[in-house]
Amino acid sequence: MKLGVHIGYWGLGLTSQDQLEIVQEAERLGYDSVWTAEAYGSDAATILGWLAGQTSTIRLASGIFQMPGRSAAMTAMTAATIDQLSDGRMILGIGSSGPQVSEGWHGVRFAKQLARTRDYVAAIRLALARERLEYEGDTLVLPLPDGPGKALKLTISPVQERIPIYIAAIGPKNTQLAAEIADGIIPTLFSPEHVAVMRAEVEAGVARAEGKTVDDVEIAPGVQVYVGDDWQAARDLMRPFLALYIGGMGSREKNFYNQLVRRYGFEEAAEEVQNLYLAGDKEAAMAALPDDLIDTVSICGPKEHVRERLAAYREAGVGTLGVTPMAWTKEDRITQLRLVAELNAA
């Protein structure tokens, strides 16, 4: 199982030099990839371009580019450019974002997400193959009809013959679609113990793609990690992130993370955390997270437990595990990355 490092959103507590040194140390430790995020602050593409010139082997992954924030053609241009700058190290991770960001920040209706994703990926594939961008789908038509638009070709060539495309997917239908049309899936709040459900969705998706098998689709979840002897303190580090995602993301009706942990069997906890968070009591929402839920979707605790959890992810078929160290200084994050690398190799 390969390791990736998630550096998250830029500028939240660490300097640019801190982040660069973390990535460079991850590269020295043998981490396969670095993943950058975006919401409505820093954009992921600029960071990847900056890192391309200051690293040499670690692959550069968008985790994720927001589809409502870029046209498919612009995403292809960006991926091809980063691939050239990095001498062929680009991984293109994309996702729908959520209704609040899509409609509130980008001004794009959060609708027909499955059809939109299918059209978006198809257009990217055409552009990156340097074919004329002529496409007609349910949500995208290029060139626009009845206008002066021309079917153009990308003017630069990516280094890789096929830049891998990964799709952030949580729900069953989106997971099936990702397995059908993408090279990898980026699940959030992934649970090795519940991988059988996801595996069935992947199998259903690849069955719709001619000549494709489950081995052609990499599972690349991100996970929050902290290695420490004080198990409860390690769990407590996970609570703010999990309370936000399970309790506060999206809306009450469209919180995909809340729906996911309900499918894991934590219906009562998911409802309580959401009710408390949306009522404004974030501390109570964090406290309401059961230890077994935290342990299901995070990797935290003493070394031996972390070693066992890494093995569980490996046995569940994870190809790349994207590690987010839950530490707040450069030195502590690097220490956590070293520990995870050692335990994954053992």
Q: pTM for this one?
A: 0.96
Tell me: pLDDT of 283 over 90: yes
pLDDT computed for residue 124 by the predictor: 98
- Are 317 and 235 part of one and the same domain? no
Average pLDDT of span 212-218? 97
Number of domains in the chain: 2
- Are 42 and 175 part of one and the same domain? yes
Q: What is the DSSP letter of 10?
A: T
Kindly report, residue by residue over 9-65, the tens digit of the pLDDT. Answer: 887 789 999 999 999 999 999 999 999 999 999 999 999 999 999 999 999 999 999
Kindly report, residue by residue over 100-157, the tens digit of the pLDDT. Answer: 899 999 999 999 999 999 999 999 999 999 999 999 999 999 999 999 999 999 999 9
Average pLDDT of span 88-106? 94
Classify residue 46 as exposed, middle or buried by CB count within 10 Å of its CB (0-12, 13-18, 19+): middle
pLDDT computed for residue 110 by the predictor: 92
pLDDT band at 303 (very low <50, low <70, confident <90, very high): very high
Q: Which of 59, 74, 63, 48 is nearest to 160 (CA)?
A: 59
Which contacts (CB < 8 Å, 24+ apart) does range 277-282 have?
Answer: 277/243, 277/244, 277/246, 277/247, 277/248, 278/247, 278/248, 278/252, 282/240, 282/243, 282/247, 282/248
Show the domain range for 253. 231-295
pLDDT computed for residue 296 by the predictor: 97
Tell me: pLDDT of 346 over 80: no
Average pLDDT of span 256-280? 95
- Are 10 and 92 part of one and the same domain? yes
Q: Which of 128-132, 254-258, 262-266 is predicted least confidently?
A: 254-258
pLDDT computed for residue 298 by the predictor: 98
- Are 129 and 219 part of one and the same domain? yes
DSSP for 203-226, written as a single string: HHHHTTSTT--GGGSEE--EEEEE
pLDDT computed for residue 22 by the predictor: 97
- Are 181 and 88 part of one and the same domain? yes
Mean model confidence pLDDT for the chain = 96
pLDDT computed for residue 254 by the predictor: 81
Tell me: pLDDT of 192 over 80: yes
Average pLDDT of span 153-176? 96
pLDDT computed for residue 251 by the predictor: 79
Average pLDDT of span 66-82? 98
- Are 98 and 133 part of one and the same domain? yes
Kindly report, residue by residue over 195-206, the tens digit of the pLDDT. Answer: 988 999 999 999
Average pLDDT of span 246-256? 87
pLDDT computed for residue 250 by the predictor: 77
- Are 273 and 339 part of one and the same domain? no
Q: What is the DSSP letter of 1?
A: -
Other C-beta atoms closer than 10 Å to the C-beta of 193 total 12
pLDDT computed for residue 8 by the predictor: 84
Examine the fold and report which residue of 295, 315, 331 is the final residue of a domain before the chain moves on.
Answer: 295
- We report the CATH number of the domain holding residue 107 as 3.20.20.30
Examine the fold and report which residue of 278, 295, 312 is the final residue of a domain before the chain moves on.
Answer: 295
